[in-house]
Structure 1
Amino acid sequence: MEEKDPCRELLGSIYILYIKAKIALAETHLCRSPKNYLKKFELEETTNYNLEILDYLVRGESPGYNELSRKSWILFVLEITKILSKGKGDKFSIGKFYNKLLYKEFMDNIPLDCFREVMQIIEDKNPDSVVNRLKILRDKFYAHSDADMERMTDAMFPTFNEVWSLMDNVEECLMAIYKYYDSGINLDVNRFLQKYIREFERLYQFFQVTTDFRVTYRLKQKLGDSGYLAFRENIFL
Structure 2
Amino acid sequence: MCPLPSGLPGFWQGLKDLCFPPACLVCGARLPTGEPLLFCGRCGRDLVPIREPFCRCCGKPFLQGTGPSHFCGRCLTHAWHFTRARAVLLYQGAMAQAIQSFKYAGRTAGLPTFTELRKQSAALDDLAEPELILPVPLHVGRLRERGFNQALLLARRFFPEQRQKIQPAILVRAHHTAPQTGLSGPARRQNIKGAFQVRYPARVKNRRVLLVDDVFTTGATVDECAKVLQRAGAYEVQVITLARVKE
- Larger gyration radius, structure 1 or structure 2: 1
Q: Is the helix fraction higher in 1 or 2?
A: 1
Q: TM over 0.5, yes or no?
A: no
TM-score computed with the length of structure 2 as normaliser: 0.24
TM-score computed with the length of structure 1 as normaliser: 0.25
